[in-house]
């Protein structure tokens, strides 16, 4: 039976243990949404938890900080406890707070302490630009030159990183390493356990950007002894546009003075004493800065309920089957049309999306959107496709690839300019 046959896809969907979760999301008719690695879809429970928080503001006013179903004063910590299993952390090691870049700034302000010969930050040339902006600015704030004090690990193929190359770059001049858990273009998973061990053997602190892995890939940050991590909640976690970010600090680092101090990092029993000398919280809560964005965190409450019920293990298993299926369909339907797959083939190295390359990628993405398939373009010639375990079906993947084949066969993409829109 061909992979592209309707019967094959139907059989996979019938056997899907997570199929029922699709009904939890707002799925637009006549649309196949494959951009969940950029912005996840709205779930009914996320909507309900947001409305519930609005209701507490309406009904309780300022008393919403300490009363109601989800008191705002304690919400960041309680969300952190619920999110901890997704990153393999102890509950007190995780906080839902800030944004990805703000949390990276906090981690570097706290843990990047250039001294003696150790003055450099190690990153990679494939990293998401915002991380590199933050890293360079933190180097400049120490009066140092990023040209000299940023070590950028090169890619051998333009798509993936070699862990051997990263480890080789961990010299005695490196103070901190900041790396992606999953590369945002190719979807490669880095071996975070191995890299953490190698960094520590060399006296280097190491942290990971989990934006493209949390919610699709299991982690064990505490057991790996990772020093810190940070992430967003609007991709695979479906928290909504601009929803609050998250951070992890290993408990053995508790007590390190926060580099960016703010009153929500205070010990909760002391915070409203209004003392001008800060008493930091004794756990990851110390690395909060300002008042939490309650309405931006509210949808995450409902979203995390779904992850607790589905289990990250089952989510990962289905995600791999979906991306395997998509890759198989590319081979069956799109051979000869100029596509190449830049994502790793092996399960241990592949995250939750597939990265295709084509010289006409921008206009192909526009043609797909016109046909109701929502992909994600990444310059210069990348198409990211993310079939999400909680709401995408095998039949959707099948139909999307058939539509793509027809677009290529009939050259429907040629009516569009080959350039990205304002948002790729």
Query: 110 labelled as ligand-binding?
Result: no
Query: Is residue 105 a known part of a binding site?
Result: no
DSSP 3-state assignment of 281?
coil
> Who's near 210: CB < 8 A, 6+ residues apart?
87, 181, 182, 219, 229, 230, 231
267 known member of a binding site: no
Q: Which of 84, 49, 23, 18 is nearest to 240 (CA)?
A: 49
Q: Annotated binding residue at 66? A: no
234 is in an annotated binding site: yes
State the pLDDT at residue 421.
76
At residue 192, what are phi and psi to the nearest 5 degrees? -65, -35
Distance CA 14, CA 5 (A): 15
Domains along the chain?
A: 6-30+312-415 (3.90.1150.10), 48-309 (3.40.640.10)
Q: Is 57 annotated as a binding residue?
A: no
Please give the pLDDT value at position 420. Answer: 75
Q: Is 130 annotated as a binding residue?
A: yes
Contact (Cβ atoms closer than 8 angstroms) between residue 210 and residue 236: no
pLDDT of residue 424: 66
Q: What is the pLDDT of residue 6?
A: 97
Residues 16-32 as b or e (16 or more Cβ within 10 Å = b): bebeebbebbebeeeeb
Contact call for residues 9 and 394 (beta carbons, < 8 A): yes
Q: 209 a known binding residue?
A: yes
Strand ranges (DSSP E) for 103-224?
120-124, 150-153, 174-180, 205-209
Q: Over the stretch 106-155, which tens digit does the pLDDT of each residue have?
A: 999 999 999 999 999 999 999 999 999 999 999 999 999 999 999 999 99
Sign, Cα dihedral of 405, 406, 411, 416: negative
- The predicted-structure confidence for 166-189, as pLDDT tens digits, reads as follows 999 999 999 999 999 999 999 999
Do the annotations mark residue 263 as ligand-binding?
A: yes
Q: Can you tell me whether residue 324 is helix, strand or coil?
A: helix
Q: Is 129 annotated as a binding residue?
A: yes
Per-residue pLDDT in tens (0 to 9) along the chain, 424 residues: 899 999 999 999 999 999 999 999 999 999 999 999 999 999 999 999 999 999 999 999 999 999 999 999 999 999 999 999 999 999 999 999 999 999 999 999 999 999 999 999 999 999 999 999 999 999 999 999 999 999 999 999 999 999 999 999 999 999 999 999 999 999 999 999 999 999 999 999 999 999 999 999 999 999 999 999 999 999 999 999 999 999 999 999 999 999 999 989 998 898 888 899 999 999 999 999 989 999 999 999 999 999 999 999 999 999 999 999 999 999 999 999 999 999 999 999 999 999 999 999 999 999 999 999 999 999 999 999 999 999 999 999 999 999 999 999 999 999 998 887 776 6
Question: Does the annotation flag 254 for ligand binding?
Answer: no
């Amino acid at each position: 039976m061909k992979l592209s046959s309707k019967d094959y896809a139907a059989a996979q969907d019938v056997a899907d243990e997570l199929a029922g979760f699709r009904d939890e999301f707002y799925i637009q008719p006549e649309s196949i949404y494959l951009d969940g690695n950029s912005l996840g879809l709205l779930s009914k429970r996320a909507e309900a938890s947001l409305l519930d928080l609005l209701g507490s503001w309406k009904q309780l006013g300022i008393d919403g900080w300490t009363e109601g179903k989800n008191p705002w004063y304690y919400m960041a910590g309680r969300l952190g406890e619920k999110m901890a299993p997704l990153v393999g952390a102890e509950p007190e090691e995780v906080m839902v707070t800030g944004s990805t870049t703000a949390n990276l700034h906090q981690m570097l302000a706290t843990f990047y302490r250039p001294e003696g010969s150790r003055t450099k930050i190690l990153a990679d040339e494939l990293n998401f630009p915002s991380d590199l902006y933050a890293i360079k600015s933190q180097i400049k704030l120490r009066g140092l030159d990023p040209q000299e004090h940023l070590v950028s690990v090169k890619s051998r193929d333009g798509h993936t990183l070699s862990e051997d190359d990263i480890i080789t770059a961990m010299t005695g001049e490196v103070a901190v390493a900041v790396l992606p858990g999953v590369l945002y273009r190719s979807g490669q998973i880095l071996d975070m356990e191995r890299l953490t061990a190698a960094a520590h053997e060399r006296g280097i602190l190491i942290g990971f950007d989990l934006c493209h892995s949390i919610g699709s890939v299991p982690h064990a940050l505490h057991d790996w002894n990772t020093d810190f991590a940070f992430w967003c909640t609007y991709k695979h976690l479906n928290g909504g546009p601009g929803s609050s970010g998250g951070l992890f600090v290993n408990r053995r680092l508790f007590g390190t003075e926060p580099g960016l101090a703010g009153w929500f990092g205070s010990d909760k029993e002391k915070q409203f004493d209004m003392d001008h000398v800060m008493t930091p919280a004794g756990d990851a809560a110390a690395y909060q800065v300002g008042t939490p964005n309650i309405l931006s965190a509210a949808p995450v409450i409902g979203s995390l309920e779904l992850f607790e019920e589905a289990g990250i293990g089952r989510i990962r298993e289905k995600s791999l089957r979906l991306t395997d299926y998509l890759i198989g369909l590319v081979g069956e339907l799109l051979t000869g049309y100029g596509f190449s797959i830049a994502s790793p083939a092996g399960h241990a190295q592949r995250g939750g999306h597939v990265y295709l390359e084509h010289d006409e990628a921008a206009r192909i993405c526009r043609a797909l959107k016109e046909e109701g398939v929502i992909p994600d373009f990444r310059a210069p010639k990348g198409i990211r496709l993310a079939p999400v375990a909680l709401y995408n079906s095998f039949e959707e993947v099948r139909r999307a690839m058939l539509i793509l084949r027809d677009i290529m066969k009939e050259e429907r993409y040629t009516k569009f300019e080959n350039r990205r829109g304002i948002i790729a």
